[in-house]
């Protein structure tokens, strides 16, 4: 009889001894030195290992019992949940340099409480997402933009503000220009209209007391004009920047220092490795062999190899941007002959997204170790957990197979995860090899974005709920509205469900940011999207928005000494459709008033009261275009229909879109 419950060494040993007693009754020796007993125990140990592997594989088949990161990752992707990798912190460095050329990738360090250091690499991202290769080019620095003049003893501030009146030394909030002493700085400027960016300039104002933090802001220069103070014959330079970057705080210029050479930095160190795919076992490249494993569903005659390479230096860094989270890794296949060009392989989050012959790879959280004792010959790799990362190539169907004998060069960056979120002014250590190139460095703002890899417990808690976070069905009116707002051209939407005689119909109206009716193509996109998610038996109709133009006459009382023209301009700006100097949108900006939203008189008066120079609102009169021909006092609430939007564009070329007239009383 076979004992099917045997699962460990002891039970396998007992089962084999019971079988031997029945099959070989003449063998009665049970001493440990006996050759038969040695074979029984060897077979039992092998069975114990196989039984353990069976249990482990069965456990990895479910998310609830998985113990390896790669298993949890693949289970989570089945429900469209992407676990977060280990991301590097990002910081903005201010460097004082000795020469106008600084290579990309120089490394400075931040001190840790335990006495260690944390490396930050200047230059930003390692990977160019457009080409898949390394980001190249020198860093834009210049000794003229240093924070300190290191030729003086002790070093003194180099860039200092200049003010024209000792009684007006405050650089106010909302300012878009300042003056600095001297000429010959060579500030590069940009043009917002053309999409170019000028020199990033740090405005650093010390607090009145050391107990308070400094006030720091960064602007990008759009103008730099060299002039002369005719009264004192002092050379000055006027710097300006775009109104979208208007200062958010007041700056005391006597405590302010300016600095350029602002360079993005990423926490981590850069490493370069080479490996060879299926090299000659007797050749010199054999020790650099990549990991080769049998792939899934591989038979004896149709082997489907899987090629991997484990990163030796540590955990791979990922970089979170507004567009995506990308690995800091570049993989290049080196040319076999001098006349050929190297080929750059592209990263894919999953090789299921790779084409048949695409030179693609992915990254798995697995580690393989070389167990050989001698450095010669082919490595002997074995799986060693998930405390690291490996590059994995395609199988010929999803991504191209790497050719045998190909040599790859891998450049990547490691990370410390959340530990890299250091405080401001923490990155101050310049390594000795850079002492003559980088004179000083600091980070004016705290580093951010560093995060540890999502653990298996976190994946187990989050992944089962990820597919419920976005519902691909619409039941209530709010569901149809939210679905319509998924389209990129929809600024606002509103929905009503009505009984139309024989069935329920859904009427959804979408507002484009242009303030016009949706184009036929946009209306078709909206109908197609809603029709995929509607309830069975419902009909979907997309009506064009109906804009209601309002004409307003606002009468305000100005503060004593305020100029009436300036008060009028301030009120019109507050009630405008653009963006104010402090970053806020005007009261009647597109999207401010939604479908069916009434206009509250109290909210309108509060917006008017925020205008500079307004002492109070005397009265507001209005008329609704197409309804009444004359102005009437504005009530507490001006209501509109469910598919209507109030609009006050105050554009002379389009009077039908509403207008605002301001009457100022009092003032200067």
* Buried-state track 360-376, b at ≥16 Cβ within 10 A, e below 16: bbbbbbbbbebeeeeee
| Shared-domain flag, residues 137 and 179 | no
Contact 460, 64 (CB under 8 A): yes
| Shared-domain flag, residues 119 and 160 | no
Contact 430, 68 (CB under 8 A): no
| Shared-domain flag, residues 396 and 438 | no
Q: Could you give the CA distance from residue 162 to residue 236 in angstroms, rounded to a whole number?
A: 7
- What is the reported pLDDT for 300? 57
- What is the reported pLDDT for 241? 93
Coil, strand or helix at 483? helix
Residue 85 lies in a domain: no
Long-range contacts of 478-485 (CB under 8 A, 24+ apart): 479/533, 480/506, 480/508, 480/530, 480/533, 480/534, 480/540, 481/508, 483/529, 483/530, 483/533, 484/508, 484/510, 484/526, 484/529, 484/530
pTM of the model: 0.69
CA atoms within 13 A on the CB side of 51: 15
The model's pLDDT over 27-85, given as tens digits with 9 standing for 90+, comes to 888 888 888 899 999 999 999 988 888 888 888 888 888 989 999 999 999 888 899 99
Count other C-beta atoms under 10 Å from residue 482's C-beta: 15
| Shared-domain flag, residues 377 and 488 | no
The 8-class DSSP code of residue 667 comes to -
Residue ranges of the chain with per-residue pLDDT less than 70 = 1-2, 295-303, 467-469, 668
CATH code of residue 516 = 3.30.300.70
Domain of residue 127 covers 90-141+418-442
Q: Could you give the CA distance from residue 520 to residue 508 in angstroms, rounded to a whole number?
A: 15
| Shared-domain flag, residues 534 and 586 | no
- What is the reported pLDDT for 576? 86
CA atoms within 13 A on the CB side of 235: 6
Residue 451 lies in a domain: no
Q: Which residues contact 49 (CB under 8 A, 6 or more apart)?
A: none
- What is the reported pLDDT for 21? 85
> What does the angle CA 111 – CA 112 – CA 113 come to, to the nearest 5 degrees?
125
| Shared-domain flag, residues 51 and 104 | no
Q: Nearest Cα to 422, choosing from 90, 85, 108, 84?
A: 90
Cis before 154 (ω within 30):
yes
| Shared-domain flag, residues 588 and 621 | yes
Residue 396 lies in a domain: yes
Residue 268 lies in a domain: no
- What is the reported pLDDT for 345? 94
Q: Could you give the CA distance from residue 290 to residue 305 in angstroms, rounded to a whole number?
A: 12
- What is the reported pLDDT for 640? 82
| Shared-domain flag, residues 509 and 553 | no
| Shared-domain flag, residues 380 and 425 | no
The 8-class DSSP code of residue 637 comes to E
The 8-class DSSP code of residue 448 comes to B
The 8-class DSSP code of residue 62 comes to S
Q: How far is CA 465 from the centre of its chain?
A: 23
Residue 254 lies in a domain: yes
Residue 71 lies in a domain: no
Residue 229 lies in a domain: yes
CA atoms within 13 A on the CB side of 133: 8
The DSSP annotation for 225-282 comes to EEEEETTTTEEEEEEEE-GGG--SS-EEGGGEEEE--EEEEEES-EEEEEEESS--TT
| Shared-domain flag, residues 110 and 183 | no
Tokens of 559: 């503060």
Q: Which residues contact 436 (CB under 8 A, 6 or more apart)?
A: 98
Residue that is last in its domain, among 509, 543, 577: 543
| Shared-domain flag, residues 335 and 434 | no
**Domains of the chain: total:** 6
Q: Which residues contact 331 (CB under 8 A, 6 or more apart)?
A: 344, 345, 347, 361, 391, 408, 409, 410
Residue 378 lies in a domain: yes
| Shared-domain flag, residues 49 and 108 | no
């Amino acid at each position: 009889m076979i004992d099917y419950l045997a699962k460990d060494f002891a039970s396998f040993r007992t089962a084999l001894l019971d079988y031997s007693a029945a099959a070989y009754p003449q063998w009665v020796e049970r001493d440990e030195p006996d050759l038969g007993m040695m074979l029984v125990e060897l077979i039992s140990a092998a069975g114990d290992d196989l039984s353990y592997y069976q249990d482990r594989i069965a456990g990895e088949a479910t998310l609830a019992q998985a113990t390896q990161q790669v298993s949890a990752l693949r289970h989570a992707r089945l429900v469209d949940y992407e676990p977060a990798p280990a991301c590097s912190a990002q910081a903005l460095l201010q460097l004082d340099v000795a020469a106008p050329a600084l290579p990309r990738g120089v490394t400075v360090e931040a001190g840790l409480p335990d006495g260690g250091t944390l490396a930050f690499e200047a230059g930003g991202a390692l990977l160019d997402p457009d080409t898949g290769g390394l980001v190249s080019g020198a860093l834009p620095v210049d000794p003229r933009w240093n924070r300190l003049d290191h030729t003086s003893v002790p070093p003194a501030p180099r860039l200092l503000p200049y003010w024209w009146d000792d009684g007006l030394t405050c650089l106010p909030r909302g300012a878009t220009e300042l003056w600095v002493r001297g000429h010959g700085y060579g500030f590069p400027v940009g043009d917002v209209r053309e999409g170019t960016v000028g020199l990033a300039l740090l405005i650093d104002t010390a607090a009145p007391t050391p107990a308070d933090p400094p006030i720091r802001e960064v602007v990008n220069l759009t103008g730099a004009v060299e002039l002369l103070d005719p009264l004192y014959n002092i050379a000055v330079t006027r710097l300006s920047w775009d109104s979208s970057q208007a200062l958010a705080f007041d700056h005391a210029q006597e405590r302010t220092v300016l600095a350029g050479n602002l360079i993005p930095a990423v926490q981590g160190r850069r490493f370069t490795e080479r490996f060879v795919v299926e090299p000659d076992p007797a050749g010199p490249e054999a020790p650099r062999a990549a990991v080769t494993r049998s792939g899934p569903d591989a038979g004896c005659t149709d082997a489907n190899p899987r090629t991997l390479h484990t990163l030796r230096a540590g955990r791979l860094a990922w970089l979170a941007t507004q567009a995506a989270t990308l690995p800091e890794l570049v993989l290049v296949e080196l040319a076999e002959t001098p006349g050929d060009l190297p080929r750059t392989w592209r990263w894919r989050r999953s090789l299921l997204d790779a084409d048949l012959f695409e030179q693609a790879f992915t990254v798995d959280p697995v580690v393989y170790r070389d167990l050989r004792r001698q450095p010669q010959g082919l490595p002997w790799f074995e799986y060693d957990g998930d405390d690291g990362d490996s590059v994995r190539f395609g199988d010929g169907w999803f991504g191209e197979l790497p050719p045998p004998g190909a040599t790859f060069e891998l450049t990547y960056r490691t990370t410390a995860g959340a530990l890299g979120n250091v405080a401001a002014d923490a990155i101050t250590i310049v390594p000795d090899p850079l002492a003559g190139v980088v004179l000083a460095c600091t980070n004016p703002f705290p580093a951010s974005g560093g995060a540890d890899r999502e653990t298996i417990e976190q994946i187990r808690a989050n992944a089962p709920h990820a597919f419920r976070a976005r519902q691909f069905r619409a039941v209530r009116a709010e569901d149809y509205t939210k679905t319509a707002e998924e389209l990129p051209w929809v600024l606002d939407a509103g929905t009503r469900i009505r009984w139309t005689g024989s069935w329920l119909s859904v009427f959804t109206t979408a507002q484009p940011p242009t303030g016009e009716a949706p184009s036929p193509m946009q209306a078709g996109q909206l109908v197609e999207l809603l029709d995929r998610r509607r309830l069975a038996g419902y009909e979907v109709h997309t009506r064009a928005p109906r804009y209601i133009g309002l004409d307003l006459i606002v009468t305000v009382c100005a503060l004593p000494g305020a100029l009436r023209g300036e008060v009028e301009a301030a009120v019109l700006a507050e009630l405008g459709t653009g963006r104010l100097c402090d970053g806020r949108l005007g009261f009647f900006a597109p999207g401010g008033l939604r479908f069916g939203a009434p206009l509250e008189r109290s909210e309108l008066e509060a917006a008017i009261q925020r205008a500079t120079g307004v002492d109070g609102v005397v009265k507001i009169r209005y008329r609704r275009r197409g309804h009444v021909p004359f102005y009437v006092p504005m009530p507490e609430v001006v209501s509109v229909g469910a598919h209507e939007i109030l609009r006050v564009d105050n554009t002379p070329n389009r009077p039908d879109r509403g207008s605002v007239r301001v009457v100022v009383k009092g003032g200067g």
